[in-house]
Amino acid sequence: QQQVKQSPQSLIVQKGGIPIINCAYENTAFDYFPWYQQFPGKGPALLIAIRPDVSEKKEGRFTISFNKSAKQFSLHIMDSQPGDSATYFCAAVLSGNTGKLIFGQGTTLQVKP
């Protein structure tokens, strides 16, 4: 099953809050999980990525938590800022495949001042 399910569809938090976006997958052959950030009118940009042999990865205010047994992973944004308001996509890549990205449906985040 080559799907990645993402939730919630939209999220509103106050400045300083910690929005959490969740993704789930079925295919255990996925072995690379990037998160992309997209601003209106722009293309997606890689934010942070993780491999399934790691349970957590932090880059600045962004953290990925990975639960291999549950086949779930999530993005946490610490001390969120209005400039973080964007659409966030989780994605997955199949092992040994062509590198094509299988995207989740996206989460639109609004951080209120």
Partner 1 sequence: NAGVMQNPRHLVRRRGQEARLRCSPMKGHSHVYWYRQLPEEGLKFMVYLQKENIIDESGMPKERFSAEFPKEGPSILRIQQVVRGDSAAYFCASSPPGGRFYNEQFFGPGTRLTVL
- φ, ψ of residue 82 to 5 degrees: the values are -55, -30
Whichever of 45 and 78 has its CB closer to partner 1, that residue is 45
Does 104 help bind partner 1 (rule: CB under 8 A)? yes
Q: Is residue 109 a contact partner of residue 22, using CB atoms and an 8 Å limit?
A: no
Cβ at position 77, least distance to partner 1 in Å:
19
CB of 15 to partner 1, least distance (A): 26
CB contact at 8 A, 88 and 76: no
Give residue for tokens 């890549």.
93
Give 3-state DSSP helix, strand, coil % of the chain, rounded to 5: 5, 55, 40
Site for partner 1 in 70-99 (CB under 8 A): 89, 93, 98-99
Q: Is 10 in the site for partner 1 (CB under 8 A)?
A: no
Interacting residues with partner 1 (CB under 8 A):
6, 32, 34, 36, 41-46, 89, 93, 98-106
